[in-house]
A and B are shown apart, each in its own frame.
Chain A
């Protein structure tokens, strides 16, 4: 594109400013394209490295057994309306010894 512009450089002096503007725009476009292609290459390399680092999945399925939180209540009734009506009480206590 730049080569084309230079080849067809306008002779009349008044058109020089327009030509220069077109030239600048083209240079900017090329610079942006170069930056984008470099970023894409970097991303690709990063992804490849991450995939290599991840390695194969574990051979056996891992156990998903959530450790109880310190704030977990001792008992959480499920289906409270059906199983724990308002007149029922579910009470827990730890008996020492």
Chain B
């Protein structure tokens, strides 16, 4: 009697799972170049409402279940992500502006910048250009004139959206009179590949206003001689 009740309960529990699994397909992908943890987040963003991901850490594999029509795109994304570390040329252009009294370079209030006006009309006092060589998961730096240095650590690249994640990016003012102003910019960034991104830094105390333009460019490799 007890066994019969137990079996009935088991069937009742299994029925919704069985019906839920109807229509969903799945595939397994073993990654050979990347840690499975580094792609799971991005993969999860492409899943449908019924999609599921299960990760097998020791085998560095991921099993994706979703509607059959979504699976080819998911497989393609995994294939695009699972490649050896890509290399990038991070082009940096630093424009130095003369400090103006009362921060007139920026409109009031102080926390508002008319970026388009400034980007188009402001004429820099000095300009420096450099290129840092970066590899996914690696670091790079480049001197920008005698007084500034750009330091960056690359993270992953999303080939679908063509965006490079920088785990850290810092603009160091090596000639800063006080250590407090040494790092003019420090943080993590996500930059579009092949397009410039501007960082506008207002002057403060003895530090002049700066405009930093960063452009990461994906470099070709033996495996990918043609870069899209």
Interface residues of chain A, those whose CB is within 8 Å of chain B, are 53-55, 57-58, 62-70, 72-79, 82-96
- Please tell me if the beta carbons of B204 and A72 are within 8 angstroms of each other in the complex: no
User: Which of B106, B119, B136, B164 is the one whose CB lies under 8 Å from A63?
Assistant: B136
From A65, A66, A74, A87, contact of B189 by CB (8 A): A74
> In the complex, how many angstroms separate the beta carbon of B118 from the nearest chain A beta carbon?
9
Chain A nearest Cβ from B177, distance in angstroms:
16
Interface residues on B, range: 35 or more
For residue A61, give the distance in angstroms from its CB to the closest CB of chain B.
9
Contact of B33 among A63, A84, A85, A88 (CB under 8 A): A63
Besides A58-B32, A63-B38, 11 other A-B contacts (C-beta < 8 A): A63-B34, A67-B41, A67-B81, A68-B155, A68-B156, A70-B161, A73-B190, A79-B186, A87-B202, A91-B113, A93-B119
- Report B-chain residues with C-beta under 8 Å of the C-beta of A74: 189-191, 197
The smallest beta-carbon distance between B141 and chain A, in angstroms, is: 17
Contact present for A68 and B158 (CB under 8 Å): yes
**How far apart are the CA atoms of A54 and B30 in the complex, in Å?**
11
Interface centre among A54, A58, A88 (most CB of B within 10 A): A88
Please classify the interface of chain A as helix (H, G, I), strand (E, B), loop, or mixed, using the class held by over half of its residues: loop
Q: How far is the CB of A78 from chain B (nearest CB, A)?
A: 5
Q: Tell me if B157 is interfacial: C-beta within 8 Å of chain A.
A: yes
Which residues from A are CB-within-8-Å of B202? Answer: 87-89
Kindly identify, within residues 146 to 195 of chain B, every residue whose CB is under 8 Å from any CB belonging to chain A: 154-158, 161, 163-165, 168, 180, 183-192, 195
User: Whole-angstrom distance between the alpha carbons of A17 and B164 in the complex?
Assistant: 80
**Nearest-Cβ distance from residue A29 to partner chain B, whole angstroms:** 18
Given A75-B188, A78-B168, A90-B201, are A64 and B41 also a contact pair (CB < 8 Å)?
no
By beta carbon, the residue of chain B nearest A87 is: B110
Residues of A within 8 A of B157 (CB): 65, 67
A-B contacts, 27 of them at CB < 8 A, read A53-B59, A57-B58, A58-B32, A63-B38, A64-B34, A64-B35, A64-B137, A65-B85, A67-B81, A68-B190, A70-B45, A74-B190, A75-B187, A75-B190, A76-B187, A77-B187, A78-B186, A78-B187, A83-B187, A87-B110, A87-B202, A89-B201, A92-B198, A93-B115, A94-B195, A94-B196, A95-B198
Chain A residue numbers with a CB within 8 Å of B81 are: 67
Decide if A66 touches B198 in the complex (CB within 8 Å). Answer: no
Contacts of A70 in B (CB 8 A): 45, 161
Chain B residues whose C-beta falls within 8 Å of the C-beta of A76 in the assembled complex: 187-189
Instruction: Select from chain A the residue with minimum beta-carbon distance to B179.
Output: A82
Check A64/B38 contact, CB under 8 A, given A73-B190, A77-B187, A85-B204.
Answer: yes
